[in-house]
A = this chain, B = another copy of it.
Amino acid sequence: MKSVVINGYGTIGKRVADAVNIQNDMKVIGVSKTKPDFEAKMAVKKGYDLYIAIPEREQLFKDAGIEIAGTVDDMIKEADVVVDCTPGNVGPANLEKYKKEGVKAIYQGGEKHDLTGLSFNSFSNYDDSFGREYTRVVSCNTTGLTRTLKPIDDLCGIKKIRAVMVRRGGDPNQVNKGPINAIVPNPPTVPSHHGPDLKTVLYGSDITTVALIVPTTLMHQHSLMVEIERSVEKEEIIETLEKRSRVLVLDAKDGLGSTAEFMEYAKELGRSRNDLFEIPVWRESINVVDGELFYMQAVHQESDVVPENVDAIRSLLELEGDNEKSIAKTNKAMGIL
């Protein structure tokens, strides 16, 4: 049983903690917070040992009646691997700590690829992180792209990918984010930085991305235009995506015509936090015209990377040599379709 700590118990961190804790080959021995907020209180209630990232704030946590187990420095001493879910700007400083302590670490997509020199997706390059010290689970968007593009590439080969990514303005709890009533090219330059990030896990892919932000909180949406090597019928694409775990082919005509309806579908799955770990693809959108494949999918930005984090732990700690076996274990424990 390997020991995992979560540095940064926020949107992603709390989900990874819960996902790790239901596996049978790893357990969470500590989580960290910078602020004594409701998440800190609920982490303790759930039974997690809580460590504080800023030692000077010990009294603040005591005043809030939150029991702490020590500092982040204490926490990482006991760990086999740290899952770093801190905001993007503090990751590089943390890496020095992890190196000094000799603890392995997994970063999130908010960090640059260069920080670890290695990025991770369960389906496309699990082996490359095997036994390594540090890796980085790519962003929710890149994870979503890889989930569907990898099996398509395996099926018929991909020449060129064009993707327009319509991103949510903020997560449901981010009341200070926008826009409220606008469409925002973000970045206004084309291509966006999302394309190159795909290449860190789906090697050699030729992708151009355009990205926008819109006034919604629920999910990102991707419109994909994929020039394929070998012409296939759309039915083959559907069959391929249906076979692939962590991808769902859903029907707009079944009352699932939008991201809001996908989130309602997730509620019916009865999972904690109504998460949708899978990437839903609209069946009606899948089409092949003149050797070009079109489809539209959505990404639950708060949760799709969670199973990949569990697999990344197995890869770094050499818990499982076969990526499909790790994927199957993670899926089974988390109830992933």
Contact = CB atoms under 8 A, between A and B. Distances in A.
A40 interface: no
Given A210-B296, A223-B212, A259 B182 contact: yes
Interface stretch (A18-26, A61-69, A184-192, A304-312): A184-192
Interface in A183-227: 183-191, 208, 210, 212, 214-219, 221, 223, 225
A181 B218 contact: yes
A107 to B, nearest CB: 28
A289 B223 CA distance: 20
The number of chain A residues touching the other chain, given as a range, is 35 or more
A285 B185 contact: yes
B162 A225 contact: yes
A252 interface: yes
Contacts of A252: 185, 188
A287 interface: yes
9 contacts: A183-B221, A184-B259, A188-B257, A188-B296, A189-B284, A190-B286, A190-B287, A208-B292, A225-B225
Contacts of A181: 215-218, 260
